[in-house]
Amino acid sequence: MERKNEKLHVLPSVLAVLGGFFILADGIYALYAAPYIYSSTSFSTYLISGLGTRLAPFSIVLGLMIIGSGLLIYNKNKVWSTMWSSTVLVFSIMSILSGGGFIIGLLLSFVGAILGIFYSASRL
């Protein structure tokens, strides 16, 4: 029974880290590739590419924070695991402002954080 419990404890951490990698990849894409793809004289595409380039550092920082917090979800102490899960939840909601990691990053990190909070609460 201990092994099954241990596998359940790893799942929130893995989902949060995967979501963080997608959010990080979205920031890197917005920083380097988007200005070349959307380079046009049209004002609307200029606004879209300019806004994406300005929010890219924010997305990169959020991705790194989610990856770090996601690694810390896998903690034997229940209180710390709940705290890091809550941190991932807040950062994943904040990632909506910068694209949400192609949406899949937002969903993965959000689900990982919710699972981490409820799994930690069930161990209390």
Is residue 5 over pLDDT 60?
no
CA distance 74 to 91: 17
- What pLDDT score was predicted for residue 55? 83
Helix (H) or strand (E) holding 44: helix 43-73
- 25-74 pLDDT per residue, tens: 999 988 887 666 666 555 555 555 556 667 889 999 999 999 999 999 98
Is residue 105 over pLDDT 50?
yes
Structure tokens at 115: 């699972």
101 phi/psi in degrees, rounded to 5: 65, 50
Q: Tell me the one-letter amino acid at 16.
A: A
- What pLDDT score was predicted for residue 12? 94
Q: Report, as an integer, the average pLDDT of 70-93.
A: 92
- 12-28 pLDDT per residue, tens: 999 999 999 999 999 99
- What pLDDT score was predicted for residue 20? 97
Structure tokens at 19: 């979501």
Is residue 1 over pLDDT 50?
no
Handedness of CA 111, 115, 118, 120 (dihedral sign): negative
Helix (H) or strand (E) holding 92: helix 78-94
CA distance 37 to 32: 10
